[in-house]
Structure 1
């Protein structure tokens, strides 16, 4: 299974991006203000940590399509964006460094 196999849905009621990995729910909680989305919490089912980066990549691609900026407040997502700084720096709001 690759990141192309992940189907991301935006549960606006619960304010989280969701996908199913091995028939279990993985989610990234968020809050949105103006043209910024704060990614606040990442929850992965036990035993699916190897898919964490695929899920983050898919969610960031979804956000990029919306032309929205990302503020990663979740330590896992901030760490991922820091490790991939060049690829995702255009998603950060002006003046935000990770």
Structure 2
């Protein structure tokens, strides 16, 4: 069972590393996209973008540190959000069936 936990932690950590790298490479673009993703005032978009990148950087570091792995899993599960990739109608339909596709 430890191999399963380690494999899941590694996979989640890799996903967060890719996310951090992509956001960090275009931080101004990510900052501009925040008001469309969440209700945030434009003057708070930059600090929020930096906070999101910092939290996503902390997640894989916590996941690969055995004493702090449970905190890493908690932080990874707290960052879930509703999918808005296909618009408001598709986000209501998104569920386990569409996640499997």
TM-score by length of 1: 0.26
> Larger % of helix: which?
2
| Larger-gyration structure (1/2) | 2
Greater percentage in strand: 1
Q: With structure 2 as the length reference, what TM-score do the two structures score?
A: 0.26
